[in-house]
Chains A and B, each alone.
Chain A
Amino acid sequence: MTTLTPAATTVSLPTRASRAVHAEWTKLRSVRSHVAALVATPILLVLLGAAMASMTVAAWDALAPEMRADFEPVASSLSGIDLAQLVLGTLGVLLVTGEYGSGTIRATFAAVPQRPLLLGSKAAVFAVAAFVVSAVGCLAAFLIAQPILAEQDLNVGLGDPGVLRAVLGSALYLTVAGLLGMGLAAILRHTAAAIGTLFAVLFALPLLAHFLPATISDRVVRYLPTNAGGAIAQLNPGPTDLAPWTGFALFCAYAAATLFVGAVLANRRDV
């Protein structure tokens, strides 16, 4: 160590971003429970989809006509989506709160003082990983469930109108639900608070909205995160739903807004 005052290091933003992304990928893959959550996602989707298809086929002849009318072949084969969003939402939360809870966040922020860049890299790595496992899981669940549904001629093909959009849209929905969890975690910094808030938003809000008078709820419910985001996963959107991509764009905006607020707060707060 002979140079005591070296020249300022200049590192371009793309280089810094790619380093941060590289580091976040290492962080994601180096913890067993993170990997377990990613692996569990497609397994859950396939198992629950196949189970639902088998039960539907077995019960079909005895099913009431209005229940038959409600049947939707894509949604049925992707019945695991509720459970999968629990898993990915929790992972999105833990990737942030795990660092705060353990104190590792200090090492992380000391290594990357540009905190919005760090959070952005974390979100990007998680989004890619979550989309890959979700897309694999949704496609596999669909392809395994359809031959089962074919026994009662209930099946559709990937090439049928809207089917591919609904299948991959389900994977997009799962990805963004996870990012919403990540954003809430960046704001709240505590595991229980963030998971509680995420599931209140995703599950409780749509339920509560149904207690509103129908004239109001018909106009409001479609804008709730779950309903807006769910539009892209529906084969035949209902009259009160937003159009698939419009709804999905709104869902993305909710997630982006929480991540943005999380990044602004992270930049201002002491750790």
Chain B
Amino acid sequence: MIEIDGLTKRYGSTLAVDDLTFTVSPGHVTGFLGPNGSGKSTTMRAILGLDRPTAGSVRIDGRRYRDEAAPLTRVGAMLEANFLPGRSAYHHLLYLAQSNGIGRRRVDEVLELVGLQSVARKRTRTFSLGMRQRLGIAAALLGDPPTLLFDEPINGLDPEGIVWARRLLKSLAAEGRTVLVSSHLISEMALTAEHLIVIGRGRLIADTTVTEFTRNAGTESLEDAFLRLTTDAVEYRSPADSLAYTGSEN
């Protein structure tokens, strides 16, 4: 369980996350939705102790991330998939495993799980975006953790990869894990998540279930309902876009 309480993050004069409070429960996929720049990634970095909150707190199963001695066995995270380009996928996972006392065999297991075993010894410089995403997912699964965070895991995956990732996320949640998945695509989250957290400009806009969200949308498409919800919370939008968004078919 992830408990976010009054989380605020300010970078200079920019308020990235503004008094955000919500809880992510185990057993189902929670979709973390918001337009670009709404504070999703900042929130995820704060959960992982990478960014220090200006105010508020984040607890994972009651504890602060930075107090964990072997955090990968407690929380697995796939952030923006960036790797040192000169290092192989295998060695990237190996150093992460060693730093948390995880055995070498688990490295091979997760490589197989994400389908990268044949390119494991290749340097990540040669990887496509989809392969990088798979490596990021492998890193998250390394410690077999009860809590998992995925930042835009679908980006760059091909249709087969998308179906695979969707199934994986659901099965991880079905095993009783806490799974938080960020996305800016409501349609994708409608297929993957049961619960939705919607933020805009760093503030909580909705904390609801997919069923509830769909029912409230009524005859509206999910995209339109999502846009209506977040329309006041988007920082950058060209006038032409605003016009387009008022049409029901776009």
A-side residues, CB < 8 A to B, are 1-6, 8-11, 15-16, 19-20, 22-24, 26-27, 30-33, 98-99, 102-104, 106-114, 268, 270-271
Contacts and interface: CB of A to CB of B under 8 A. Distances in A.
B83 A4 contact: no
A97 to B, nearest CB: 11
Interface stretch (B29-37, B68-76, B196-204): B68-76
B70 A11 contact: yes
B17 interface: no
Contact of B69 (A10, A26, A103): A10
Contact of B49 (A31, A32, A113): A113
A113 B45 contact: no
* 8 interchain residue pairs of minimum CB distance: A103-B82, A30-B91, A23-B99, A11-B69, A270-B51, A1-B175, A23-B98, A26-B95
Interface string B88-125: 10011011101111000000000000000000000000
Given A113-B66, A268-B52, A270-B52, 6 more contacts: A19-B101, A23-B98, A102-B84, A104-B82, A106-B48, A111-B72
Q: Which of A5, A107, A112 has the most CB of B within 10 A?
A: A107
B80 interface: yes
Contacts of A2: 176
Nearest to A23: B99
Nearest to B97: A23
A193 to B, nearest CB: 19
A6 B95 CA distance: 25
A30 B98 contact: no
B177 interface: yes
Q: Max chain B CB contacts within 10 Å: which of A9, A99, A271?
A: A9
Contact of B146 (A1, A8, A32, A98): A1
Contact of A22 (B48, B86, B99): B99
Given A26-B91, A106-B50, A32 B99 contact: no
Contacts of B101: 11, 15, 19
A102 B85 contact: yes
Interface stretch (B57-65, B183-191, B216-224, B229-237): B57-65
Contacts of A99: 84
Given A8-B63, A102-B84, A271 B70 contact: no
Interface size on B, as a range, is 35 or more
Which of B45, B77, B83, B95 has most A Cβ within 10 Å? B95
A4 B99 CA distance: 24
Given A104-B83, A110-B71, A3 B91 contact: no
Contact of B87 (A9, A15, A31, A103): A31
B2 interface: no
A23 B85 contact: no
Contacts of A108: 99
23 contacts: A1-B177, A4-B61, A5-B1, A9-B70, A11-B70, A19-B98, A19-B99, A19-B100, A20-B99, A23-B95, A31-B84, A32-B86, A33-B86, A102-B82, A102-B83, A103-B80, A107-B83, A110-B49, A111-B72, A111-B100, A270-B45, A271-B45, A271-B50
Nearest to B50: A271
A22 B146 CA distance: 25
B39 interface: no
Contacts of B61: 4-6
Contacts of A19: 98-101
Nearest to B176: A1
B87 to A, nearest CB: 5
A14 B82 CA distance: 30
A6 B99 contact: no
B180 interface: no
Contacts of A268: 52
Contact of B50 (A16, A20, A23, A109): A109
Nearest to A12: B69
Contact of B86 (A6, A9, A31, A271): A31
Contacts of B86: 31-33
B79 interface: yes
A15 to B, nearest CB: 7
